[in-house]
Amino acid sequence: MSGSEGPSEHEVDLLIVGAGPTGLYGTYYAGFRGLKVALLDSLPEVGGQVAALYPEKAIYDVAGFPAVRGQDLVDALYAQAAQADPLLLLGRSAVAVHEHDDGVDVTTDTGDVVHAKALLITAGIGNFTPRKLPAGSEYAGRGLRYFVPRLDELAGLDVVVVGGGDSALDWALGLEPIARSVTLVHRRPQFRAHERSVEQLHASSVRVLTPYEVHKISGEVAVEGVVVTTRAGDRQELPAQAVVAALGFIADLGPIEGWGLQLRRRHILVDRTMRTNLSRVFAAGDVADYDGKIKLISIGFGEAALAVNHITTVVRPGSSATPGHSSDL
């Protein structure tokens, strides 16, 4: 993959904004369709949210993998995308878009200008910040954390995981073999996670406390214990040297919201070809929305391929949206 340093101008067939799994697969597919492609992301490395937050997390819903570690998936997608020899523009954000008859001009926060014949937005959930734990937030960085990029950092510790979604259960199950103890605290009896993860949780040695909430975190310098309570007044004190709060994210699209795109609940509306209301701008993955949308990595892959095939007809008028089979090449 090629790169660039300093403000400069580039001309490509397709610019993809967002280097997560969907963007990486879209990059490969653009190369498969013979397009010159650039890939841009505000993070310094490819992989998006998966690489930045969940590199150790096991992912179960990618076709062909009974389970795959997040970073392993990103590494494989990166190697696949490299076949397209893309221009890689990392550590910079797209801040302005100007669509004209011949293409789209995108300006970054570092002064780069990319002249593309089409734009594909695969920005995931956009800019994201974790929802803070109401009690004990002052312990952030001193035992309280909101992400677990490396599970072995918590090996041998008593860990309290707070939350009831996929991330909370994945971290609790991932830590079970290496932590001294793992307790999962959730304010509701029901979980929002995949059914399989819930089944694995109840079959594991993870202690599950519902419906409890964190009332207090204690410790002179760092986390030493957690007090959890119910609304009925039940109270338990838990030993803990680490608290993982998996309470979800607050996300926004940042500058994308000012690009003149039709939005619905901070997502970009697309048609059946993944085209937005701007004729040369497409979107795929979690950032894209349409009736019946399901947010899965596997669906993002399909949306990226669908978008690129239709983008090809925009970039090269008269070409077919039907790609043929890669094995025929």
User: Is the domain of 180 the same as that of 92?
Assistant: no
Residues with Cβ within 8 Å of 42's Cβ and at least 6 positions away in sequence, in order, are 91, 92, 93, 127
Where in the sequence is the domain holding 190, given as residue range(s)? 132-245
Please state at what angle helix 195-202 crosses helix 166-175, rounded to 10 degrees. 40
Residue after which a domain boundary falls, among 181, 212, 245: 245
CA distances from 1 to 28, 39, 50, 53, 236 (A): 11, 10, 20, 24, 54
Question: The domain spanning residue 86 has which CATH number?
Answer: 3.50.50.60
User: Is the domain of 259 the same as that of 228?
Assistant: no
Q: Is 152 annotated as a binding residue?
A: no
Q: Is 286 annotated as a binding residue?
A: yes
Question: What is the reported pLDDT for 328?
Answer: 66
Residue 214 to residue 169: CA distance in whole angstroms: 17
C-alpha 328: how far from chain center: 33
Match 């993944």 to its residue by tokens: 274
Q: Is 49 annotated as a binding residue?
A: yes
207, 160 Cβ separation under 8 angstroms: no
Tokens encoding 163: 């939350």
Question: What is the reported pLDDT for 6?
Answer: 57
Question: What is the reported pLDDT for 253?
Answer: 83
Question: What is the reported pLDDT for 329?
Answer: 60
Residue 223 to residue 210: CA distance in whole angstroms: 22
Single pTM value for the model: 0.79
CA distances from 58 to 238, 259, 301, 309 (A): 27, 35, 18, 30
- The stretches in the chain having pLDDT less than 50 are 4
Per-residue model confidence as pLDDT tens digits over 89-124: 999 999 999 999 999 999 999 999 999 999 999 998
Question: What is the reported pLDDT for 54?
Answer: 77
Question: What is the reported pLDDT for 34?
Answer: 96
Residue after which a domain boundary falls, among 213, 245, 277: 245
On the CB side of 72, how many CA atoms lie within 13 Å of its CA?
Answer: 10
User: Is the domain of 150 the same as that of 118?
Assistant: no
What is residue 21's three-state secondary structure?
helix
Q: Is 41 annotated as a binding residue?
A: yes
User: Is the domain of 194 the same as that of 306?
Assistant: no
Report the domain count for the chain: 2
Residue after which a domain boundary falls, among 193, 217, 245: 245
What is residue 49's three-state secondary structure?
helix
Residue 148 to residue 321: CA distance in whole angstroms: 41
Q: Is 290 annotated as a binding residue?
A: no
Q: Is 22 annotated as a binding residue?
A: yes
Q: Is 54 annotated as a binding residue?
A: yes
Amino acid sitting at position 325: H
Q: Is 28 annotated as a binding residue?
A: no
Residue 283 to residue 288: CA distance in whole angstroms: 5
